[in-house]
Amino acid sequence: MILAGKTAFIVNPHAGNGATCMEWPRIQAFARDRLGPFEVHLTSGPGDATRAAGEQLRRGFERIICVGGDGTLNEVVNGLVGEDGVVPAGVVVGFIPNGTGCDFVRTNPIPRELDACLSLIEEGHARRLDLGRLTYRDPLGETAVRYFHNIASFGIAGEVVARVNRTSKAFGPFVSFMWGTLQSLLLYGTKRVRLRLDDGPETECSVWNIAVANGRYHGGGMCVAPDAATDDGLLHVTVIGDLRLPEVFWHLPKLYSRRIGDIRKVRMAVCRTVEASSGDSVLLDVDGEQPGTLPSRFEVVPAALNIIAG
């Protein structure tokens, strides 16, 4: 599918610990040569990309290019979805990855190199991908809804992303997430979680983390869902169970070598809905952002987003 139309860029200058701010003049110059005229919105804070994407949609823009990390792309997607959770069919999203994690492009064929990425956007071939819909409790205790394009998880991942987003990311995504993970492992612990997949029975288990995945990677390269595909109409669930702390450190490299399934206390499943709750305070990680806590409901929205990809 090839789509084209009025083009707008949504740019997060703070992405990548401020690297996008320095890179944007070069990106803008290359893009003007390759894509012709476009409008630009530089975000100023959390939620601004969502507001900008919604405004551009109302103004008739059909090609919306996100420059930043997975968190910025998440905000853009949330500004474009309708009440049915689907982005209008005539709207296509492009992504120039320039953030801390950018794990989404590890699953989908979107190049990191600027020239190749702009060539892909210029060609305009779009793929229809699934989204996840998450209903959760926000920091004020109210029920909220958010969509995710990559992975939503809860447990230690929520602790890690909250820690990473409070500190400097100057040493790059791998070091940032690894340091945040090591700190959280020493200060955190397992949580008791009640879990239901589709219409199955509710089970209760003690876990370090549960990932509800559309893509395969999160946390700066951790492969928590090796078999996930963003267009299969399914959620891939990975439950990391009650490992002792020495076991966690022993098995941690498996998260980076696609061998998470080799860990005895890891369970995997596929489904279309997930319900989770806990008597503990359990933080969420949604595409690298920390919006709230359990209880939560996760649902797949098939074929919800046109995104430019190889």
pLDDT of residue 168: 54
Find out whether 137 and 201 touch, Cβ atoms under 8 Å. Answer: no
Position 294 pLDDT exceeds 50:
yes
Q: What is the greatest pairwise CA distance in the chain? A: 56
Domains of the chain: 7-131 (3.40.50.10330), 132-302 (2.60.200.40)
9 token code pair: 């860029």
Q: What is the pLDDT of residues 25-84, one digit of tens each?
A: 999 999 999 999 999 999 999 999 999 999 999 999 999 999 999 999 999 999 999 989
Among 150-164, 231-245, 255-269, where is mean pLDDT lowest? 150-164
Tell whether the torsion through CA atoms of 69, 164, 260 and 191 is positive or negative: negative
pLDDT in tens, 216-234: 999 888 999 999 999 999 9
Q: What is the mean pLDDT of residues 188-205?
A: 95
- The model carries a pTM of 0.91
> In this predicted structure, what is the pLDDT of residue 245?
87
